[in-house]
Chain A
């Protein structure tokens, strides 16, 4: 399964699975949760941190967290 870390700039995807254990509640609260849409807003050096738009919220997370969020790429 691809993860958020595999997104290319501008690409949109739907979050399909996040392991409850590894992902902090805070990320859920920001709208980063299964079922919601995610888009990579801008390329950054080494893709770390990643600049995302999740469910209309702009946020940045680290690569290691992004690798744990599985997605289904939309376009």
Chain B
């Protein structure tokens, strides 16, 4: 193995940075998280020559080195910390030809750090069509760097980029804008106090709200240096940005020419339609409809297949492995547990397919634009639309997607209400209960009642989210400025490779993230249902047999087995726990088994069906669907079938409102920095769920 160098890719959002990363690394990449935070860390390797390999890190997109979000602070923290194992030997700043002006702001900042740095100009294949010409050599001199003109789409220019990376030692490291001219006095005294530190780095540390190693923001400010107020610092940052743009505008005036007449066209005509005050909304509605159609209709085919596959796998295991506790654990605990995760893959994959296509094409920004005015009335932002759509698959990526909302209040409200949207984990619960209590008939011979119920539940989730946002907006007293800036990128055809990578990565992280919890819970449940304390559990067989003999009942051996199994379950650990909470759930129309399913659902909702499956299948020999078993259940207090219209509706409403997802709570805690908001969700939503379910059952019954 030869030598390896560290390369960091930095760039604005929408520059095709990820496409460049994909082209450089091919399939040699992995996606993880930065330690302790949920910012995606993409890294890969590329072979530069026979002796030199590059470790390439794709840093989160940022407009500047002034971090305003978690994602952006990752970039600056790495670039300021020489001791980080990922600290780059060379930085590639990815920009795109059409937004070069804005992209160069970040470039000039990075250049000031004194790290060797290459400017990669992507989408160079569009130059001719857009009437742009660029004097590369002159620009290289002005910016004191080397430039690679790339097209990630056409895979051109990468040989030169690899070459430049390989020869990184010959790159100039002088800055191209002198930041200290914005306040020479201050910078001079700064340098005097810290003669060994890089001046621009000191300035960055002072203006960010973060500390870097031994450089502490407040200490720098205190060390014999006249401290500046925050307003003063902000004014200086503005001044710095103005100075940088002045340099950039002058530089580009001499090196870049644009034929304005050719530059328009596609953007203008598409925008006229897509953000039209009427057609814009119609088109967005149609696209939403298509997405939901895909998630809930098209994905039902692979889902049914997966369901059947795991059912037969479970059966096969039971038949072929020697009977015993271990086999039961696999067949009744682990296999259904894994099945419960795998079944969500088609839906999650479809959702991310659409979202990544909408983002790649540039359409998502138009949706944000269209929706901002409407969403603002409810205390949300146009940018809340993406989390709310993502929330229909899973609240976890949705809460994370709220990150790019600038106003803290709007972002917080979005995070608080997103769990009301009907996530795909609620779907299996809805489906099975609807099948049990809503007649499979048609209204006017046209609309299926079951379908209507499902649609109403989705609507309910969305309305509750918006409504509670409105309430939260009224109650949250927060002095946070509501401002909103959204870039309107150019329209582009999505690149297949990028879309495919996104879908695979997002699906993988869902499966392994949520999967671990679901799997662990199904194993714990199985153990709790298969063991119990005392004689009631251990001698269930004798107790039931004697009881039956005494009463003189005539039972087939099968009926006897079922009776023993249910007696056992009742006295297992889980049965004891279930009966303890029975008084709390009886008013809602549930028995202790549903109570257990609800409790285990607090880990993750999708566990509900799995729990009932586990509870019912423990000890049962014959293959029987869960639905049939549920239909046979008898209400212990009221008699009659347990699942009636009243108890079914009550259960549906409970699941619509309750906060039952540990992973979401954990992510809300991480994104808001305190348990306060997660706890407000847990108790607020669950209380609402209990009250609504109680009212529903008591009125309908």
Contact = CB atoms under 8 A, between A and B. Distances in A.
B489 interface: yes
Contacts of A42: 268, 271-272, 275
Contacts of B63: 26, 29-30
A35 B102 contact: no
Given A25-B66, A57-B102, A60-B369, A30 B485 contact: yes
A36 to B, nearest CB: 7
Given A24-B406, A42-B272, A35 B484 contact: no
Contacts of A49: 369, 372-373, 382, 484, 486
Contacts of A44: 275, 277, 369
Interface stretch (B238-246, B284-292, B686-694): B238-246
B690 to A, nearest CB: 39
Given A33-B242, A42-B272, A55-B245, A48 B99 contact: no
Nearest to B234: A20
Interface string A41-75: 11011101101000111111110110000000000
A33 B372 CA distance: 23
A56 B99 contact: yes
Contacts, number: 117
B488 to A, nearest CB: 4
Contact-residue size bin, chain B (C-beta under 8 Å from the other chain): 35 or more
Interface residues of A, number: 34
Contact of A34 (B242, B406, B490): B242
Contact of A28 (B238, B272, B372): B238
A62 B235 CA distance: 22
Given A30-B63, A33-B245, A25 B487 contact: no
Interface in B315-369: 365, 368-369
Given A24-B406, A44-B275, A45-B277, A51 B484 contact: no
Contacts of A29: 63-64, 66, 105, 241
B102 A56 contact: yes
A59 B486 contact: yes
Contact of B487 (A24, A30, A34, A64): A30
Contacts of B81: none
B246 A35 contact: yes
B129 interface: no
19 contacts: A25-B234, A28-B242, A31-B245, A33-B238, A41-B268, A41-B271, A42-B275, A44-B277, A51-B275, A55-B101, A55-B102, A55-B249, A57-B99, A58-B267, A60-B365, A60-B485, A62-B484, A65-B483, A65-B484
Interface of A: 20-31, 33-36, 41-42, 44-46, 48-49, 51, 55-62, 64-65
Q: Nearest 4 CB-CB pairs, A to B?
A: A58-B488, A28-B241, A45-B277, A29-B64
Given A44-B369, A49-B369, A61-B485, 20 more contacts: A21-B231, A25-B241, A26-B68, A27-B485, A28-B241, A29-B105, A31-B101, A31-B102, A31-B105, A33-B245, A41-B268, A49-B484, A55-B101, A55-B245, A56-B102, A57-B487, A60-B368, A61-B483, A62-B376, A65-B483
